[in-house]
Chain A
């Protein structure tokens, strides 16, 4: 009798979940339980259209610290310097720019400690450079650089900040291996909620 009851109740729970879907319960990757009221909702609203791999590829431009998303191609600092001097220097200056100079963009090159947050003293991941330059720079012509040019510029910026040597070539394999000087400074939000000021 007991066994039968357990089987019955299991079926009831199962049918509730599959049919009405009134409470969508999510357990997140962090183990948080979130309940979403979806009373009378269909299992799908049948809205939107499938995204094809080709169209995803066109807009999936992000590059992650492990190198996922880095394209083919490569570049070195020498070639990057030429691009920097023609397309970047007007806003970002060089290592000889006076600290008093009013620049349109942030200072990118500095190996000396100072108030400026530069690639050498602040940026925690080298892959971020490739991702950001490719998506947003140069400011007056965003998205106009080829992958090769972005690798070249990335190599130059890393070299100018004394993170890599002049002869090192940056590509999908070498860029994720670069360890940035500031990486170990970064910690996730350590505020814990409640009354504490942190």
Chain B
């Protein structure tokens, strides 16, 4: 099948033949020669600037490529980007395959920008209700017994709606998954001798907001990690270089980045983030606080806006995840929730991890509505927006929203987000 875009590119190439070789081409031709339409790996048509040099090199079997390099590159035909706002930057979920988020596409949320921290002067201090307050260097942290684990990190403010033209990235791109390596916090707790009466600890970052959160000590003993590596290399600055706290399955804000201090206490510290910010209205005028666990969720990432469907067989694809444990099942509906079918889960299904699901479907034309819902090992089923409003009331605010997401397939093949209002 030849796409409109391919044709246009060939035409452009033809057009350049016969012309004398300009000095710019010999120099590598950095300037844009043409803007062409290309088909992305998901069939999405995108605009792409093509340089003079690229126009010339149309047959890779006739030209030597670049020699081995010191760093790999992403194909210049791939246009993966995060979507930044003033406060965050979202992962392009619709453009990813599998379940690991490339490190440079991991979502970002920080409260005072990304700090520059010299790993040689970095230190982490543990003090408060401990027998031996200690200061660890980065080298110290790396010498402790290490662990590697794959799990997601998701911001608890990870839902946007309100219009039909929205991509998965825009709806819930504040979730990403990495393979993290570091030392278990329990190992450090054992080293400093955390007192049995300590029930909370403060985790504090060394960004310009000196961002801090109170965490129950039990999470520290259970599965909290101090991570210094992400997907095989040092953590990226945006993710907390050189070391950060990670609390698997808990709202991203508690996984304090650029971690400089942990103070053990017998009460929460009531920081700004856990009082004025990451709290949500529930019924009877109450405000829910310390709502750490991310409930189960899923989203179909293909097909999704702005794809244009062609009739025939396709694989409906998406990811499901739960902060409570493993995904047990994902169900897919193609008729707006009238009937549900089991999707196939990609092994291995990991604890508190993005899990890929697939469902084969033939689109014969005509309107359809695609939905997915995750069920986790605790028996929790991803709710609809209506169920969330019924449970929390109309003033529920924007945190911890995990509604079933619907894609409307129009007769002309357009795919639109079924925007539901939160109140």
Q: Which residues of A contact B (CB under 8 A)?
A: 24, 26-30, 32, 34, 36, 38, 41, 44-45, 47-51, 55-56, 59-66, 117, 119, 122-125, 127-128, 131-132, 135-136, 139, 142-143, 182, 185-191, 193-198
Contact = CB atoms under 8 A, between A and B. Distances in A.
Nearest to B379: A195
Interface string B336-362: 000000000000000000000000000
B136 A48 contact: yes
A59 B261 contact: yes
A187 to B, nearest CB: 5
Interface size class of B (residues with CB under 8 A): 35 or more
Contact of B282 (A27, A63, A190): A190
Given A48-B135, A50-B133, A38 B190 contact: yes
30 contacts: A26-B221, A28-B217, A29-B196, A36-B221, A47-B191, A48-B134, A48-B136, A50-B132, A51-B133, A59-B125, A59-B261, A60-B263, A62-B212, A66-B267, A122-B287, A123-B276, A131-B269, A131-B272, A132-B272, A136-B112, A142-B208, A185-B286, A187-B286, A189-B293, A190-B282, A191-B293, A191-B295, A193-B293, A197-B387, A198-B391
A195 B126 CA distance: 37
Interface string B128-162: 00001111110010011100000000000000000
Given A34-B186, A55-B125, A197-B388, 12 more contacts: A36-B186, A48-B137, A48-B140, A122-B276, A135-B212, A136-B208, A136-B210, A139-B112, A187-B282, A188-B288, A188-B290, A194-B378
B12 interface: no
B204 A62 contact: yes
B220 to A, nearest CB: 9
B190 A65 contact: no
Contacts of B51: none
A101 B218 CA distance: 44
Given A49-B135, A128-B275, A143-B210, A64 B218 contact: no
Contacts of A125: 270, 275
A16 to B, nearest CB: 17
Given A66-B267, A135-B209, A189 B292 contact: yes
B191 A48 contact: yes
Interface in B85-133: 111-112, 125-127, 132-133
Interface string B216-240: 1110011000000000000000000
Interface of B: 111-112, 125-127, 132-137, 140, 143-145, 184, 186, 190-191, 196-199, 202, 204, 208-212, 216-218, 221-222, 260-261, 263, 265-267, 269-272, 275-276, 279, 282, 285-293, 295, 324, 378-381, 383, 387-388, 391-392
Contacts of B136: 47-48
Contacts of A65: 267, 270
B144 A47 contact: yes
Contacts of A132: 271-272, 276
A191 B291 CA distance: 8
Contacts of B388: 197
B218 A29 contact: yes
A136 B273 CA distance: 12
Contact of A188 (B267, B272, B289): B289
B337 to A, nearest CB: 16
B289 A194 contact: no
A55 B222 CA distance: 29
A123 B276 CA distance: 5
A119 B275 CA distance: 10
Contacts of B267: 64-66
Contacts of A27: 196
Nearest to A30: B218
Given A195-B380, A197-B388, A51 B218 contact: no
A34 B222 contact: yes
Given A24-B190, A56-B125, A191-B293, A62 B143 contact: no
Contact of B218 (A32, A62, A135, A195): A32
Contacts of B191: 44-45, 47-48
B262 to A, nearest CB: 11
Contacts of B137: 48
Nearest to B143: A47
Contact of A197 (B199, B265, B391): B391
A30 B197 CA distance: 10
B315 to A, nearest CB: 29
B198 to A, nearest CB: 7
A195 B378 contact: yes
A41 to B, nearest CB: 7
Contacts of A60: 127, 261, 263
Contacts of A30: 199, 216, 218
